[in-house]
Amino acid sequence: MNSTISPRKKSPSSKTPPAPEARRAALARAARAALPPGLERDTILLPWAIGESVVMEAAQFLHVALPEEYIDRLAAKADRVYLHRRGSRFWRQMRARGHAGRDALYMFMRHWLSGLLQRERPALFRRLPVCFHLGRRLPR
């Protein structure tokens, strides 16, 4: 009789743990999956952070404190437009490669903030240069 020796099987405890990069990637995927559907979940963009930056930019230019509620309203509008206009120009721009999505979101949020100020604080709106209404940065 010919006997063959089978290789010893490794016990489950001897398996090597995943590399730190793999663990971080798995945690990032799980965290992203836990987010509600929308711009932040589908892209790496953070609408609330960009909204805060745009509101602060305008507040510093105008030398007034703008309501923090504007940040939430801008972020909510970005999510709403992104979710309900799938395939639109806005949706495609947010999913663009590189910094194009971030830059486009800044442009849209400046434009939207301009509209908010026009409706709710017309005196401040009139003090903003036209370039801000078009989504461009304010001059320093």
pLDDT band at 18 (very low <50, low <70, confident <90, very high): low
How far apart CA 87 and CA 92 sit, in angstroms, is: 6
How far apart CA 101 and CA 43 sit, in angstroms, is: 9
Enter the tokens of residue 46: 């953070």
136: burial class by Cβ within 10 Å (0-12, 13-18, 19+)? middle
Which tens digits make up the pLDDT trace of 37-91?
Answer: 667 767 778 889 999 999 999 999 999 999 999 999 999 998 888 887 776 777 7
Arithmetic mean of pLDDT, 24-42: 68
